Amino acid sequence: MLEYLGTSGSMALIAHLQREKATRSAMDTSSIKRKQHILQQYPLKSRPCPGVYTLPLPHNGAADKDMPQSLHSAFTDLTMLARKYLATANTDDKSMSAARDRLLLCPYIKQIASNIFTFPVFTEEFSRQVMAEVDHLRDHLPESLKSRPNSMNNHGVLLDEVGFTEGFSDVLLDQYIRPMSALLYPENGGGTLDHHRCFTVQYAQDKDVSLATHFDNAEVTLNINLSLTDMQGQQNGDLLFHGKQGEPRPQPVRFQHRIGWGVLHLGKELHCATPLIAGERTNLIMWCRSAAWRLKNGCAMCGETAGLKFAHIQNSI
Shortest distance, position 127 Cβ to Fe ion, whole Å: 19
Residue closer to Fe ion by CB (options 130, 285) is 285
Shortest distance, position 255 Cβ to Fe ion, whole Å: 12
Q: d(Cα 157, Cα 172) in Å, to the nearest integer?
A: 18
Give CA separation, 105 vs 58, 185, 274, 285, in Å. Answer: 21, 17, 31, 26
- Residue 216 binds to Fe ion (criterion: CB under 5 A): yes
Beta-carbon contacts of residue 270 (< 8 Å; ≥ 6 apart): 213, 214, 215, 241, 242, 243, 244, 245, 248
Identify which range of 35-43, 213-221, 255-263, 300-308 contacts Fe ion by CB under 5 A.
Answer: 213-221
Identify which range of 50-58, 97-105, 175-183, 214-222 contacts Fe ion by CB under 5 A.
Answer: 214-222
**Restricting to residues 287-306, which ones interact with Fe ion according to CB under 5 A?**
none
Check the CA dihedral 133-138-140-144 and report its sign.
positive
Residue closer to Fe ion by CB (options 208, 216) is 216
Shortest distance, position 289 Cβ to Fe ion, whole Å: 14
Shortest distance, position 20 Cβ to Fe ion, whole Å: 18
Shortest distance, position 295 Cβ to Fe ion, whole Å: 23
Residue closer to Fe ion by CB (options 56, 189) is 189
The angle subtended at Cα 33 by Cα 129 and Cα 16, nearest 5°, is 95
Q: Using CB positions, name the residue nearest to Fe ion.
A: 216
Q: d(Cα 203, Cα 305) in Å, to the nearest integer?
A: 35
Count interface residues toward Fe ion (CB under 5 A). 1
Q: d(Cα 199, Cα 150) in Å, to the nearest integer?
A: 8
Shortest distance, position 95 Cβ to Fe ion, whole Å: 32
Residue closer to Fe ion by CB (options 76, 225) is 225
Residue closer to Fe ion by CB (options 216, 219) is 216
Residue closer to Fe ion by CB (options 133, 216) is 216
Residue closer to Fe ion by CB (options 194, 269) is 269
Q: d(Cα 118, Cα 62) in Å, to the nearest integer?
A: 23
Shortest distance, position 280 Cβ to Fe ion, whole Å: 19
Identify which range of 141-149, 156-164, 215-223, 294-302 contacts Fe ion by CB under 5 A.
Answer: 215-223
Give CA separation, 168 vs 26, 51, 253, in Å. Answer: 25, 10, 30
Question: What residue type is assigned to position 117 of the chain?
Answer: F
Q: d(Cα 83, Cα 179) in Å, to the nearest integer?
A: 6
- Residue 160 binds to Fe ion (criterion: CB under 5 A): no
Longest distance between any two alpha carbons in the chain, whole Å: 63
Query: What is the separation of C-alpha 285 from the centre of its chain, rounded to a whole number of angstroms?
Result: 3
Identify which range of 66-74, 208-216, 236-244, 299-307 contacts Fe ion by CB under 5 A.
Answer: 208-216
Which spans of this chain sit near Fe ion (rule: CB under 5 A)? 216
